[in-house]
Amino acid sequence: MATISMSSSIDGSLRWLIVATMLVPAAATRAAELSLAQKVEILITAYPETLLKAEDGHAHFRSGGTLPVDDGKAKDHAGKLATGDIEDSLSQIYPAGACETKPDVNFDPGRIRSDALMMRLYGASAEQVEASLVSVDWFGKKLRVTKRQGAAAALEKVRDELKAIPEIAAFLSPSAGTFNWRKVAGASNMSVHSFGAAIDINTKYADYWLWAGGKPGRVPHHKNRYPMKIVDAFERHGFIWGGRWYHYDTMHFEYRPELIAIGKAAGVSACR
């Protein structure tokens, strides 16, 4: 598998667009045409601080060591959520854009994660993650967000963009939180809040499948009350939205620049 080298000084959003163009030159390319190798190359480029290259079926880290892309285990959707590997985490293509989507059953792009990869990107314990947390002003409240992988800087860009739209301020603050070392509610895998790379905005307008009475195998009707201007701004700076998930969590945004870039490379849009 070829390795793409790109300076980490390039602005994150520009880097995703560049790599998407390099890997998939055909404008009409769709998700089904993206190989796993192409997705992994985009993943490597999205996290230059930590990831070095992809080779021989493994992600290689700058600090040493590797992680298999595919653990070789067949999993259903629940299994991918519980013990996802890198391949699983890239298996569903995230559709960014200023339009709402109504996800199909078990379409949860980004909700499937590799805990092993996330711990290499951000820290394997609460103490390790906390060592990289910085303070970000979020509409008058100080939030603790990781500076690793450019997450805090990306959130500041989202904030600055949203400040220019005063009519949506009530939806954004108070934030329901960022860093919180914990597992996903009712699950065995780690929340991205554990890594300081997620934010929940004002819960007054939140719709969450568990709060709506959902149970495994029974998800209530999908709802959203947040303006799509908010979602669009987050996505432009590398965050995915829990409102795109079948198991919806509309107040939730997490920093997953590889998924935004893969969607762009695949020609996928929420507005089609």
Q: What is the pLDDT of residues 251-271, one digit of tens each?
A: 999 999 999 999 999 999 999
Q: What is the pLDDT of residue 187?
A: 72
pLDDT at residue 189 in the model: 83
pTM of structure: 0.89
Q: Kindly state the average pLDDT of the residues 158-176.
A: 97
Q: What is the pLDDT of residues 171-211, one digit of tens each?
A: 999 999 999 999 887 777 899 999 999 999 999 999 999 99
Query: Is the pLDDT assigned to residue 3 strictly greater than 80?
Result: no
pLDDT in tens, 40-64: 999 999 999 999 999 999 999 999 9
| Lowest mean pLDDT across 5-9, 105-109, 207-211 | 5-9
HEC string of the chain equals CCCCCCCCCCCHHHHHHHHHHHHCCCCCCCHHHCCHHHHHHHHHHHCCCCEEEEECCEEEECCCCEEECCCCCCCCHHHHHHHCCHHHHCCCCCCCCCCCCCCCCCCCCCCCCCHHHHHHHHCCCHHHHHCCEEEEEECCEEEEEECHHHHHHHHHHHHHHHHCCHHHHHHHCCCCECCCCCECCCCCCECHHHHCCEEECCHHHCCECCCCCCECCECCCCCCCCCHHHHHHHHHCCEEEHHHCCCCECCEEEECHHHHHHHHHHCCCCCC
